[in-house]
Every structure is written in C-alpha cells, then in structure tokens.
Structure 1
Amino acid sequence: MSANAQVLTNARLVLDDEVVHGSLVIKDGRIKAVERGPVALPGAIDCEGDLLIPGLIELHTDNMEKYFQPRPKVSWPARSAALAHDAQMAASGITTVFDAVSIGDVDDQSMRHGALHQMVEALAEINRSGMARVDHRLHLRCEVCHPDTLSRFQSLAGTPELGLVSLMDHSPGQRQFVSLDAYRVYYKGKHGFDDAGLEAFIERQQAFSAQYSSVNRQAIADACRERGLALASHDDATVEHVAESLEYGTRVAEFPTTQEAASAAHHNGLAVMMGAPNVVRGGSHSGNIAASELVRLGVLDILSSDYYPAALLDAVFRVAVMDNGYDLPRAVACASRRPAEAVGLSDRGRIAEGLRADLIRVKEVDGHPLVQRVWCAGKQVH
C-alpha cells in the first residue's frame, strides 16, 4: 500500500444494487478499487463489519440560518456560524450540502434579508480557504411573490458555489397555503398579528403575488436555463403545477403537498424530494402528504434533511425497512446517487471506482444508524 493510500476492509459495502462484504482502496481523494472480501494489509482500517455507504448529499437545508441567528435579534459572527453549521453537516454524514438561503422572505423583519450576502460570503470563505470539512454548494430559494426577488437573484446568480435554484410562492391561497384558514393560523402564530393586522398582511401578500410571481418565475427560470443551473419547484399541489414546472425545465419537485402532484412529477421525470423529518416523525408537520405514502407508491426519489440534519441518515434507514420496494441500496440512493444525478454531480453519490471517496462508516445499534467515521474526498472529517 502506497503512502498516500488508505484501505478500509471488513465492511459491508452498500453498492448500487446490493450489499457486499468487502474492502475499499482510497487514493488521491478517490476510490481506487472496490474489492469483495476482506484484505490483510498493514495499516488497513478494520471496519468490524460496519456498513460503508456513500456520503450523503443534501440539496435543501436552511439549518445554517440557525447559527447566524441563534436567538431572535442575536447575530453570530459569520465565519464562526458557517463553521459550526459545517461541523454539524459532517457529524450527520452529509459530505455535500446545498445550503439554502432565502431571497425575498415574506417577513420583511426576518434576518434572511439582512444576512443574505453575509451567509453566501461566509460559505465561500470556508470553502475556498480549506476550512470547511465538507463540500458546500449554494441553493437560492426564490420567493417569487416578493418585489425585490429578481434583483437579488441577479446579484447572486454568478456566485461560483451556486448549483440549485428553487421557485417558491408562500403567498396566501397558493400551494402550501391553498387554505386561507391554515394560512391565518400559521402566520398569526408566527408573527403575533391581531385580526386586523393579519387581514392587511394577507391582502398585501396576495397583491404582491398577483403582480410579481409569474414575471419573477419566468425570468429566473430563463436565467437558470442560460446558466445551466438546476431548477426546483416547491410545494407543488396539483397536476397543473407539475405541468408548469416541466415548462420551466425543472429537475426537482421539492416537497409536493399531495399524492396527485408527487405521482405526476415522478412519472414525468422530475425527482420527487421529501423531507427526512416527515419520515422520522411519521408525517408532515403541516398536514400534507406523508413521505411514507410516497414510498408505498414508489415515487419518492430524494430525501432532504430540511431543518434537521441528523434526520437524513435516520430516514434512509427507516425507509429501508418499510417493506415497500426500497431496500437499503435504493433507500441510500435517495440521499446520495439520486440527488447527485438531479443536480449534475457525476463524480459522487455512489461507491464505485474513480468516484470521490465521500463515505460514511455506519454501525447499526438496535436498528438505529450511528455515524462512526466520515470521509470527504478521502479525508476523514468526523
């Protein structure tokens, strides 16, 4: 074994279609060899029969925002916040993360507006300086009903880390909030509106949606097509929403709210993404379709940790025992190969010769996956 090579042996390797007892050779940050059976070489790492799976790929998490504003009205130093978020990603087995930052929050008092460029710059700094443990990419969540969304998107569209853009409309009467009663309950609780203030807020948001949503949606979709950026829809609720997404060249359907929309998206070639917390908790916190139902139908393609990073690996293993056609390789692919394919990352997401050595060693204890070690491009980061 050469000085710059690592050997991992006595592992259960989760490959594309099977789990085999074998060994891996890592060299120069990539998988040099995949071999069946254990090897006896000096310096080889004995994985003691644990699973080796590809590093997880997270396409949509707003977890980083919690570190930039750990409490209301408390701002944290940008680099420290980004590095704390990065450490949590590594500990969760996530080796590639598309950090989602929001453009055009419906709440003008939200920290998202003021910290937008600060978060993007902090990510770039830890990535390019080598301080980051894992590979950080940028996901711009574009609230198309906001008057400033297009200009803010244009100011960030050239960011080198940008790899995914999603089109959202959280205005009342749309998608996640088709029910105005549900919208009233959610926003009254979130912002403490009185009845008059809430009705004024609803009227304002509906006017913004009517004026800006279609124009912004089309302009951003056109820009993504020109730049070769992957595009995602968000909260599709109807077949008509899916048809619209197809017209815009969308690749990913984030968190469809109904079985109708999820099935239509999957069968038309969109990768259907659902939240890992939905799987772990046994359903949607907002009353939408349960991810387990989409597993039963065979139309779940991608899992995302969304707001809870540790949920991603947990959800993979829960999906694998649902007895609905998702064995362990297929469940793992929902958080590795399938998201990589959706955003055009052909160098990762699988255990195969020549690919990046993004790997997780996982021990199962009472059916729960415990992260033992994590490698990103061959470097142990956890």
Structure 2
Amino acid sequence: MTTETQGSDAILARMMALHPKIIDLTLDRMWRLLARLGHPERDLPPVIHIAGTNGKGSTQAMIRAGLEQAGHRVHAYTSPHLARFHERIRLAGTLIEEDHLTAVLDECRRVNGDDNITYFEITTCAALLAFARTPADYTLLEVGLGGRLDATNVVEQPRLTVITPVSIDHQQYLGETLAEIAGEKAGILKRGVPCIVARQDDGAMEVIEKIAARLSAPLIAHGQHWHVGREHGRLVFQDETGLLDLPPPILAGPHQFDNAGTALAALRYLGVDAAACEAAVTDAQWPARMQRLSHGPLVDLAGGAPIWLDGGHNPAAGAAVAATLATMPGPKLHVICGMLNTKDVAGFLRPIAPHTARLYAVDIPGETNTLPAETTRAAAEQCGISATTASTVAQAIRDIVATDAEARILICGSLYLAGRILSDNG
C-alpha cells in the first residue's frame, strides 16, 4: 500500500467497527449525523437518484457521459468500489483526491463520535458533504441497497428519479417477492418528481405505478412513453420528442441496449441534444461488466487466451451474461466463479450453463462472506456444468490454458471478486 492512500484507508478501517451490523436498514442514524453536519443533503446540485436491481451502475455511467458531453459538471456516487474506495465519489467529473477524501471522512467520524452508524451510512454522509462543498451542475446518486431505507434516500426533492429493472435479490433485506422488492425500490419516488422507469416485469410495474399515483409522481416508462431496440446493429430510441438512430452501446451485452434506453430517457427529459445522447452510449465507461482484460499478470499468464471479467451476481445478471455470451461466436468458455454466501448460486449459474465448457470454483480472496469453493462447485454440477475447484484465480487460469489451446475465459460471480482481479491485475 502506498503512503498516499494510508490516510483514508486507516479511517475507513476504523469506520468498519462503528456498528455491529454491516447492513441495518433505517434512516435514523443518517438524519442524526446529517443534522450535525449542517444538512449537506439540502445543498446538493440537482439530484438524479437511481435505484433498481440490475443496471444501476451502467445506466448512471451513461447518464454521466451524456451530461458531461453537454458541458455539465457532474458529481457521481456509486457502490461498491472495485479496487479503491475513491471510485465511489466522483466530484465534478474527477475521482475524489486522497486529501479531500481523508478530510471529509475524518470530519464525519469526529462529528459522529461514538454513536452507532454503519460503514455505508457514514461514508455516504462523507460523499454528500463533499458534493455540497464542490460546485457542479448535477449529482448522480446510486442506491446502495433497496431504496426506501437506503442511506442515499435523504434528498427531499431530487430533480429526477430512475428505476432500472427490478428482480429478485437481497431477499433477506428487501422481501421475498418481486412485489415487495419493487415496493422498496420505489421508495425513492418523491411527491411530484418525475421518474424514468426501465423495462419491468408486470408485477413490479404494478407496484411502482401504485406508489407513483399516491405521490402524484409522473412516470416516464418504457413501453409507454419511450421505446428502445436494436435495428441492423444500431440502437434506435423513440419518445415523444422524436427518434434517435445511434451506434450500439460501447458497454458489452444485449442488456446494455435497455440500460442505454433508460439513460437516454433521462437525458431527453433533462433536455440535452442528440450529440450528448450519442456520447451516452459511445463514451460511457463501467469496469467489470463483460470487460475484456487487456494487460496485467493474469493476461500474461493466459498467453493468448482472452479473459473477460463480469461482476454480476444474481439470476438476472446471469441471464444478461448468458445473452452476451450468445452473441460471442466461438468455443464455450471456461468460467472461473467466486460468489458471496448470500447469493442464489444456482440461479446465477443456470443461464450460463449452456455456454460453459468447465467451471473452476474459487473463494473470494480476503472476503469473510465468500461462498466456499466446494459449495460453488456442487451448485454448478447441479446445473449440469462440469466443475472443479481451484486454490486461486491464477491457478485456475494455469489449469485452463494447460488443457485447452483454444480456451476463452470468463471470471464472474461477484463485484468483490472483480475488484480483487482489477486490483491484483493492475
């Protein structure tokens, strides 16, 4: 670890011990600390608040790319980070500097004192403090978990809300049914504030519409107010303003056409021009979403075998990965998979089974909640996938290239695993 990053890392390590539970959904602790800090959430540049199960990060990245092409300065908050915490906080287009991050983290820690607060809550307060003190034109806030009781849900009057596709995930916190989860996601809706709604299952859409009606929050919904599709390899978007014929999204996978549609609907509502809309789909960057690794020790270890990295970790993400693999002609992939013990492993693996030559199950390095590799292996075999375990990702790559001269490799199953790969692979 370099000396220049020890300041924030040391503070973040102490913050991990501030509350006995990693996740404890309530807004009481947020309101208490924000009040002591002078309510920075009231002084933010216009907020676009984004919730949903899948596609939040990609959609946010596209909205940011479009707004920045239009000349706007944009704050952005996302979680979790992949390699460094600094990735979570982007100030007016630039990742937060170490000195600035250390200062706002330390201020929040001092003001909070010994009171209980979760790691995500106190770091969200630090982000809001930094956003309030740095001039910008927009603030993009991505929900951490759920919506209604998420730490980001403290802005009384956002400029716009966005709900990406809702599916089953985090049942232990958000509810067992799609309707219950949709209700939690729709908790970001605010009275009179328009909401962009992505393609949804009927059950989720019914809940969102009911909550929106109660709050008189206008919905700008896929299939009703805007449409997106793929024609001759290009992205075609249509709303009441007119038609956009754009290049395909730079982010890989058929699902990114839907994410792009959601971002474009938001950008059109905000009034940007066609050039900014094109930049949204062609300039967006979002690591660990079917990302082709181009350099580093793992790439060297693989020889000429291509390696892709994806952080998806729930059944909907598995389906999205499978749809992407279906568009990539060539032999089946060797999959290296590590997951958390809170996830539906079989639900994630089942869609990718037809595209998998063999699966190598690994533990996520340094993660206390990793699913044991042996459990992942057993789940894979139950899905009809030939599977084994490997001590490390590097060992799995060695085994793959030693047995298959035409190997293609996908590392997947967790953003935490993806983060370790990006960090260790340079």
TM-score by length of 2: 0.27
Whose relative contact order is higher, 1 or 2, with alpha carbons under 8 Å and at least 6 apart? 1
> Which has the larger helix fraction?
2
